[in-house]
């Protein structure tokens, strides 16, 4: 629907936008539109819970018992359950997978299965919840590969190139949903007074001139030489292979990927989480290709940027396991290419 403002300008709701995009494809059945709308709904519910953050202290700590003697669910568990519950019975999905769960999430035999596959990170940056810092939900939608019946692990292990749609919700000063279905990147802001997402950022393009680099520089001593030199290049202190210095960028790092990514998408820049040797769990990087890397890489590419694992485009990586980690460089194309150049030169 369109909402009319007092001065008669029309406002595009998310529902209307999805429907208009759908009409571009005469063969579209409306299933993807409904699936996106279900995700937006899950986002609204998660937003309403995350904004209550500190109230858990009064009503009962998350993970503990509240004054009524009920168990208070941790926010990340609640977000995980919210996304799966709102999507498990609709007949739109063959299977789901969540960063919070080890295996695939099958659709119960009580419900019909559908043609899409949903992978999601229910609450990315959840270590920031206690500090009232922006966090987010990331989602990735693929077409199923299996013919019919219950979806399989194979349906979930697809290259980013095969994404049908991806996006994220960011729970910050305002709640936003940003997504692409391959026709540009569009951002909607939740108007809490009407409970609807309204189109505020149509056709987002990354600015050509980047402003920021975003990395946890506290770990510099654990990085390879190529990554260290690339970082000094971004600071304006190291020449590239042609002997050229660049103007130094500002460092911004929140430690919540969705928030760091969102800022760089709008302001220009590069976010990276390289291989580091501080923690044996992260020798292949920390972030997951399936739940974090590929969906944000699709958004970046649709906004004019690019992404890499340091050697190849993130969208071309075939994941072999659900929780596969990857080093990740994502943002303005020229900066991502420079990262690859430094890694090629110094990290053989
Ligand atoms: P999570 O999915 O467990 O929340 O972890 C991912 C988060 C990202 O949001 C963020 O970019 C990164 O971990 C921060 O890690 P670090 O604290 O090592 O800088
Ligand atoms: Mg995450």
The pLDDT-based confidence of 76 (bands split at 50, 70, 90) is confident
Whether residue 248 is predicted with pLDDT greater than 60 in this model: the reply is yes
Q: Which residue has the higher pLDDT, 4 or 133?
A: 133
101 lines ligand 1 (CB under 6 A): no
Alpha helices in the chain (DSSP H): 14-23, 31-50, 55-59, 75-87, 153-156, 225-234, 257-267, 294-302, 333-346
Question: What does the alpha-carbon distance between residue 294 and residue 308 come to, in Å, rounded to a whole number?
Answer: 10
Whether residue 62 is predicted with pLDDT greater than 80 in this model: the reply is no
300 lines ligand 1 (CB under 6 A): no
Instruction: Give the pLDDT of residue 118.
Output: 98
The pLDDT-based confidence of 278 (bands split at 50, 70, 90) is confident
Task: Find the largest Cα–Cα distance for the chain.
Answer: 67
pTM: 0.93
**Strand ranges inside the chain, DSSP E:** 2-4, 10-12, 93-98, 104-106, 116-124, 135-143, 165-171, 175-180, 185-191, 196-201, 212-214, 250-251, 269-273, 287-288, 306-308, 325-326, 328-331
The mean pLDDT of 261-266, rounded to a whole number, is 98
Q: Are 118 and 93 in contact (CB under 8 A)?
A: yes
- Residue 123, Cβ neighbours under 10 Å: how many? 31
The pLDDT-based confidence of 4 (bands split at 50, 70, 90) is low
Ligand nearest to the CA of 121: 2
21 lines ligand 1 (CB under 6 A): no
The mean pLDDT of 133-161, rounded to a whole number, is 96
Whether residue 72 is predicted with pLDDT greater than 70 in this model: the reply is no
Highest mean pLDDT among 16-30, 168-182, 277-291: 168-182
Question: What does the alpha-carbon distance between residue 348 and residue 294 come to, in Å, rounded to a whole number?
Answer: 25
Instruction: Give the pLDDT of residue 74.
Output: 82
Question: What does the alpha-carbon distance between residue 335 and residue 341 come to, in Å, rounded to a whole number?
Answer: 10
How many whole angstroms from 54 Cα to the centroid of ligand 1?
21
Report residue 143 as tokens. Answer: 């077409």
Q: Are 311 and 341 in contact (CB under 8 A)?
A: no
Instruction: Give the pLDDT of residue 281.
Output: 84
Phi, psi of 274 (to 5 degrees): -80, 175
The mean pLDDT of 246-273, rounded to a whole number, is 98
The pLDDT-based confidence of 51 (bands split at 50, 70, 90) is confident
Percent of all residues in the chain with a pLDDT value above 90, rounded to a whole number: 77
Which atom of ligand 1 is found nearest the CA of 291? 2
Which atom of ligand 1 is found nearest the CA of 126? 4
Report residue 295 as tokens. Answer: 């969906």
214 lines ligand 1 (CB under 6 A): no
Instruction: Give the pLDDT of residue 25.
Output: 82
Mean pLDDT rounded to a whole number for the chain? 91
Instruction: Give the pLDDT of residue 131.
Output: 87
User: How many alpha carbons fall within 13 Å on the CB side of residue 199?
Assistant: 19
Q: What pairs with residue 329 in β-bridges?
A: 272, 308
Which of 318, 337, 329, 322 lies closest to 275, judged by CA? 329
Whether residue 68 is predicted with pLDDT greater than 60 in this model: the reply is no
100 lines ligand 1 (CB under 6 A): no
The mean pLDDT of 239-253, rounded to a whole number, is 97
How many whole angstroms from 287 Cα to the centroid of ligand 2?
7
How many whole angstroms from 123 Cα to the centroid of ligand 2?
7
How many whole angstroms from 128 Cα to the centroid of ligand 1?
9
Q: pLDDT for 333-347, tens place per residue?
A: 999 999 999 999 999
Q: pLDDT for 86-119, tens place per residue?
A: 999 999 999 999 999 999 999 999 999 999 999 9
- Residue 12, Cβ neighbours under 10 Å: how many? 18
Instruction: Give the pLDDT of residue 305.
Output: 98
User: How many alpha carbons fall within 13 Å on the CB side of residue 338?
Assistant: 26
Whether residue 255 is predicted with pLDDT greater than 80 in this model: the reply is yes
């Amino acid at each position: 629907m369109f909402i009319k403002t007092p001065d008669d300008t029309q406002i595009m709701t998310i529902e209307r936008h999805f429907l208009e995009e759908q009409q571009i494809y005469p063969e579209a059945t409306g299933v993807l539109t409904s699936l996106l709308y279900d995700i937006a709904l899950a986002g609204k519910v998660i937003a309403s819970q995350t904004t209550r953050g500190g109230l858990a202290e009064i009503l009962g700590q998350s993970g503990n018992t509240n004054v009524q003697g009920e168990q208070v669910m941790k926010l990340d568990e609640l977000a995980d359950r919210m996304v799966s519950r709102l999507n498990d019975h609709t007949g739109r999905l063959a299977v789901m997978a969540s960063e919070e769960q080890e295996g695939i999430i099958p659709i119960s035999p009580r419900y019909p299965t559908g043609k899409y596959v949903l992978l999601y990170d229910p609450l990315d940056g959840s270590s920031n919840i206690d500090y009232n810092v922006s966090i987010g939900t990331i989602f990735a939608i693929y077409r199923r590969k299996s013919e019919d019946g219950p979806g399989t692990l194979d349906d979930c292990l697809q290259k980013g190139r095969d994404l049908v749609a991806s996006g994220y919700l960011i729970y910050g000063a305002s709640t936003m949903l940003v997504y692409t279905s391959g026709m540009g990147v569009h951002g909607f802001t939740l108007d809490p007074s009407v409970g609807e997402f309204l189109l505020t950022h149509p056709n987002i393009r990354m600015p050509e001139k980047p402003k920021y680099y975003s990395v946890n520089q506290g770990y510099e001593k654990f990085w390879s030489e190529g990554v260290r030199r690339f970082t000094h290049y971004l600071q304006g202190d190291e020449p590239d292979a042609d002997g050229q210095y660049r103007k130094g960028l500002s460092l911004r790092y929140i430690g919540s990927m969705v928030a760091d990514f969102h800022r760089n998408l709008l302001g220009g820049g590069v976010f990276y989480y390289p291989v580091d040797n501080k923690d044996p769990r992260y020798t292949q990087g920390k972030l997951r290709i399936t739940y974090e890397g590929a969906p944000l890489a699709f958004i970046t590419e649709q906004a004019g940027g690019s992404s890499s694992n340091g050697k190849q485009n993130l969208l071309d990586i075939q994941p072999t396991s659900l929780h596969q980690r990857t080093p990740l460089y994502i943002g303005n194309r020229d900066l991502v290419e420079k990262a690859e150049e430094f890694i090629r030169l110094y990290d053989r």
